[in-house]
Amino acid sequence: MEKIERVTKETKISCTLDINGTGKSSIETGIGFFDHMLEALSKHSGIDIEINCNGDLHVDDHHSVEDCGIVIGQLLKKEIFPIQNVERYGNATVVMDEASVTCALDLSNRPFLVYEMDIFGKVGSFDVELAEEFFHAVVMNSGITAHIIQDRGRNKHHIIEAAFKAFAVALRRALVTNEKLGIPSTKGVL
C-alpha cells in the first residue's frame, strides 16, 4: 500500500492506494458526484482507495478533480511498475441503461489518453468536462495508455459513470496475475 500527501495553494490531498485490495474506499473530496465516481472506480477495479481532498471549491471543482487524478496516477505508477507477472492489457464495455462506454488500456509506461465522449454541461453541479481532466491526470501520472470511447447514451450521469466503471474493470483485468508472462514485453522492460 502506497501513500502520498500533496499540498499546493489550490488543494491539500492525502491518499492511500492498494492495487491488491478488495475495492474498499473512503472518499472525501467535497464534490458529491466525483466522490460517487471514485467509489465506483475503487469498487470495480478492486483497488482500495482512501482519499481526502480539501480544495478551493469556492473557485470551482477543477483543481480538486485534476489534483486527485494526479495523486491517484502517481500512486498507481508506484504500485504497478516495474511491471511483472500481469496481463498488461485490459478492456471492458460497461452499460448503464441506455449508455455504453468502452475502455481499452495498456500498462505500457507510455502515458496517452484517447477520450471520445460526446457530452456537455453538468451533472448536478459537476462540469462533465472535468471527467476528461481526471482521466488525463491519471494516465499522464501513471504510465497507462487508455482509450475511453462513448458507444451511445443520452443521460450524462449514466455516461460518465459507465466511463469510470469501464476504466476500473479494464484496469482490474490488466492487473490480473499471469506468472507465465514475466515482464509482459518483447523488449524485456516497460
DSSP category for residue 179: G
CA torsion sign for 13, 16, 19, 21 is negative
Per-residue pLDDT band at 41 (split at 50, 70, 90): very high
Q: First and final CA of the chain: distance in angstroms?
A: 21
Residue 73 has pLDDT above 90, yes or no: yes
Query: Residue 10 is placed in which grid cell?
Result: 489550490
pLDDT at 32: 98
- What is d(CA 175, CA 20) in angstroms, rounded to the nearest whole number? 9
- What is d(CA 117, CA 179) in angstroms, rounded to the nearest whole number? 36
- What is d(CA 30, CA 162) in angstroms, rounded to the nearest whole number? 22
The CATH number of the domain covering residues in 2-180? 3.30.230.40
pLDDT average, residue stretch 142-147:
98
Yes or no: say if 178 and 85 are a contact pair by the CB < 8 Å rule. Answer: yes
Query: Residue 178 is placed in which grid cell?
Result: 499471469
Yes or no: say if 98 and 152 are a contact pair by the CB < 8 Å rule. Answer: yes
pLDDT average, residue stretch 137-164:
98
pLDDT average, residue stretch 178-184:
92
- Note the pTM of the prediction, 2 decimals: 0.97
Q: Which residues contact 136 (CB under 8 A, 6 or more apart)?
A: 69, 113, 115
- What is d(CA 23, CA 48) in angstroms, rounded to the nearest whole number? 5
Tell me the average pLDDT of the chain. 97
Residue 190 has pLDDT above 90, yes or no: no
Per-residue pLDDT band at 188 (split at 50, 70, 90): confident
- Nearest of 100, 98, 97 to residue 162 by alpha carbon: 100
Residue 71 has pLDDT above 90, yes or no: yes
Yes or no: say if 13 and 6 are a contact pair by the CB < 8 Å rule. Answer: yes
Angle at 69 between CA 103 and CA 72, to 5 degrees: 90
